[in-house]
Amino acid sequence: MILLVFAFPGAVIGQMAPPRPAAAESVQARGVHLVEEPGSDTLGVVVDLSREVTVRHEVLVEPNRLVIDLENTVFAGAPAQGSNRAVGPVAGWRAGLFLLGRSRIVLDLNRPVLVQRTDFVRQGPHTRLVIQLRSASQDEFAGRAQEDQKRRFASRVPEGPSVPRPAGAKPLVVLDPGHGGIDPGASGPKGEVEKEIVLAVARLIRKQLEADGRVEVQMTREDDRFISLGERVVFARNRSAALFVSLHADSLFGEADVRGASVYTLSDRASDAAAARAAEKENRADVAAGLDAPEAQREGVDDILFDLARRETRLFSQLAARGVAQSIQRSGRLHKTPLRSAGFRVLRAPDMPSILVELGYLSNPEDLQALMQEAGRQKLAQGLAAALLDFVLNNRIAISTKPLE
C-alpha cells in the first residue's frame, strides 16, 4: 500500500500520537505530495514536516472537497502552494496559512473519498504525515459532510453586536485587502500574486490617511492570512465604519489588452457580463479556502427600515465610487467601463457604504508594471486616499438602522 513507499529502514509507522505541548516555534511544512498506487482505489497525501502536529480533517459538498488543517504550522518557501494537475480522485489542491497558527490543505475532488487512516512516518529528525484516502459513495460522503458541518456550527462563536463609535470620534475607514493566506487570488505571468499587491497598496493608502489625521483607518488583514468574506464585512460593521473599501487586482489571461481600474458597487443585477463574472469569481474565495458554500441570506428584506437603509447605503456607495473613479482618472488609467456593479458578497452590508476597487489587471503589462513598482503604487495610493477623505469628510451622512423608539 501507499505507506510502504515511505517505510525505509528505522522508520516508525503508527497512529497519530496525542499533540505535543505547544512550542514557541511553528512547525515547518515543506511540501505536499499526492501518491497514487496503480490498480488501487486509495491515494496517499504526504506532507513533509519538521515535527508532528495536531491534524484535523473534514469534508464539504457543493463542490466536494477534503480539508486538512495543521495546527501551529506554516509552509516554508512560497506562502501558498498548489496544483491543478489531477491525480486519481483529486482534481487539484492548494495549501497555505488559513488562520494565525493554522495552515490548511484543500483538495478539490472529482469523485468522493474519505480519510481511511492518518499516520506519522519518522526517521531521526525527519517527519512525514501520511494520510491515506479511500473511495466512498456520494451518499456516504454527503453524510460525513453533514456531520462535519454540525460540529462546525456547534463550535461557532456568535457574532458580536455592533459597537457605536463614541461622540466626537474620527470617522472610520476600513480597508480590505482581498484574498490572503491559502487564497492567493489572481496571478501574473511571472508569479506575481494579487494578495501581496493589494496588501502593499492598502498599507500605502493607510499611511496617507493616517498622515492626514482626520480619519481613523483599520484593515481587515495586515499580513498574509485568510479572512472569509463574511468576516470582512462583520469586521467593518462591528466597528461602525463610515466606509468599507475592498481592494483587488484581477487577471484575464487571453485578454492582455484589457487594462485600467474599475470601481464596483453592489447591485442585484450585474451591470454587464464581465462584472457578473468578476463577482462570481470573487464570491468563490470562501469555497476555495475550504469553507461552506454561502447560504442565501435574507439580510432584512422584510424590515422596511433596513430596506430604506440599504437604498440609502447604495446611493452613498455610488457617490464614493464616482469620487474614487475620478481620482484614479487624474492619477492613473481607468478601465473603459470604470463604474460597474454586481452582487459581490463583501459589498452586501445594508448600513455601511461599500465599494470594491479593481486596481488593474495583472494580465496587462502596463497595469502590472504600475502595480509592481513603488512609484506606481504610491501614485495610486495618493489618489485613492484623497478620494476616500473627500467622501468621508464632505459627502458622508450618518446612516442609522436602529428601530424608532
Facing residues of 261 across strands? 334
In a domain, 162, yes or no: no
CB 258 within 8 A of CB 363: yes
Inform me whether the pLDDT recorded for 125 exceeds 90.
no
In a domain, 402, yes or no: no
- pLDDT at residue 10, rounded to an integer: 34
- pLDDT at residue 307, rounded to an integer: 57
Inform me whether the pLDDT recorded for 302 exceeds 50.
no
Residue scoring higher pLDDT (78 or 202): 202
Facing residues of 74 across strands? 28
The DSSP line for 341-359 is EE--GGG--TTS-EEEEEE
- Amino acid identity of residue 158, one-letter, is P
Check whether residue 382 and residue 331 sit in a common domain. yes
Inform me whether the pLDDT recorded for 156 exceeds 70.
no
Inform me whether the pLDDT recorded for 17 exceeds 50.
no
The DSSP line for 27-43 is EEEEEEEEEE-TT-S-E
- pLDDT at residue 37, rounded to an integer: 77
- pLDDT at residue 78, rounded to an integer: 63
**What is the residue range of 135's domain?**
2-154
- pLDDT at residue 145, rounded to an integer: 95
Dist CA 38 CA 40 (whole Å): 6
Check whether residue 100 and residue 183 sit in a common domain. no
Query: β-pairing, 102-109 with 90-99?
Result: antiparallel
CB 371 within 8 A of CB 360: yes
CATH number at residue 50: 2.60.40.3500
- pLDDT at residue 231, rounded to an integer: 92
CB 264 within 8 A of CB 321: yes
Q: All 3 cell numbers of residue 234?
A: 462583520
Question: 149: closest CA among 257, 249, 290, 296?
Answer: 290
Least confident of 5-14, 146-155, 309-318: 5-14
Dist CA 221 CA 203 (whole Å): 10
**Beta strands in 101-177, from DSSP E residues, in sequence order:** 102-109, 113-123, 126-135, 172-177
Check whether residue 90 and residue 8 sit in a common domain. yes
In a domain, 400, yes or no: no
Check whether residue 246 and residue 189 sit in a common domain. yes
- pLDDT at residue 158, rounded to an integer: 60
Neighbours of 120 (CB within 10 A): 20
Dist CA 96 CA 222 (whole Å): 16
Check whether residue 244 and residue 142 sit in a common domain. no
In a domain, 47, yes or no: yes
Dist CA 387 CA 366 (whole Å): 23
In a domain, 159, yes or no: no
Check whether residue 75 and residue 176 sit in a common domain. no
pLDDT-derived band at 97 (thresholds 50, 70, 90) equals: confident
Check whether residue 82 and residue 177 sit in a common domain. no
- pLDDT at residue 401, rounded to an integer: 36
Check whether residue 378 and residue 305 sit in a common domain. yes
3-state SS assignment for residue 133: strand
Check whether residue 180 and residue 76 sit in a common domain. no
Q: Computed from CA positions of residues 7, 8, 10, 11, in that sequence, does the dihedral angle turn out positive or negative?
A: negative
Check whether residue 93 and residue 180 sit in a common domain. no
> Where would I find the H helices in 97-188?
138-155
Over residues 161-172, the pLDDT tens digits come to: 667 788 889 999
Residue in this structure with the C-alpha cell 477623505, named with its chain if needed: 389
Over residues 351-377, the pLDDT tens digits come to: 899 999 999 999 999 999 999 999 999
Q: All 3 cell numbers of residue 130?
A: 501520511
The count of structural domains within the chain is: 2
- pLDDT at residue 324, rounded to an integer: 95
Dist CA 299 CA 302 (whole Å): 9
Inform me whether the pLDDT recorded for 235 exceeds 60.
yes
pLDDT-derived band at 293 (thresholds 50, 70, 90) equals: low
Over residues 178-233, the pLDDT tens digits come to: 999 999 999 999 989 999 999 999 999 999 999 999 999 999 999 998 999 999 99
In a domain, 178, yes or no: yes
Q: All 3 cell numbers of residue 396?
A: 458622508
Dist CA 113 CA 137 (whole Å): 8
* Chain center to CA of 266: 19
In a domain, 404, yes or no: no
Domain boundary among 123, 154, 185: 154
3-state SS assignment for residue 11: coil
* Element spanning 279, H or E: helix 273-283
3-state SS assignment for residue 244: strand
The DSSP line for 202-242 is HHHHHHHHHHH-SSEEEES-SSS----HHHHHHHHHHTT-S
Residues near 57 by beta carbon (within 8 Å), at least 6 away in sequence: 66, 67, 68, 69, 115, 118, 131
pLDDT-derived band at 244 (thresholds 50, 70, 90) equals: very high
Q: All 3 cell numbers of residue 39?
A: 490498480
Check whether residue 181 and residue 125 sit in a common domain. no
- pLDDT at residue 294, rounded to an integer: 57
Buried b (16+ CB within 10 A) or exposed e, 232-250: bbbbbbebbbbbbbbbbbb
Q: All 3 cell numbers of residue 134?
A: 479511500
Q: For the chain, give the mean pLDDT.
A: 84
CATH number at residue 195: 3.40.630.40
Over residues 334-351, the pLDDT tens digits come to: 999 999 999 999 999 988
- Amino acid identity of residue 173, one-letter, is V
Domain boundary among 85, 120, 154: 154
Distances in Å between the alpha carbon of 145 and those of 40, 41, 156, 295, 296?
24, 21, 16, 15, 19
Q: All 3 cell numbers of residue 293?
A: 458554500
Inform me whether the pLDDT recorded for 126 exceeds 70.
yes
Dist CA 224 CA 242 (whole Å): 25
Domain boundary among 154, 189, 211: 154
In a domain, 401, yes or no: no
Residue scoring higher pLDDT (144 or 12): 144
Check whether residue 135 and residue 201 sit in a common domain. no
Residues near 319 by beta carbon (within 8 Å), at least 6 away in sequence: 353, 391, 395
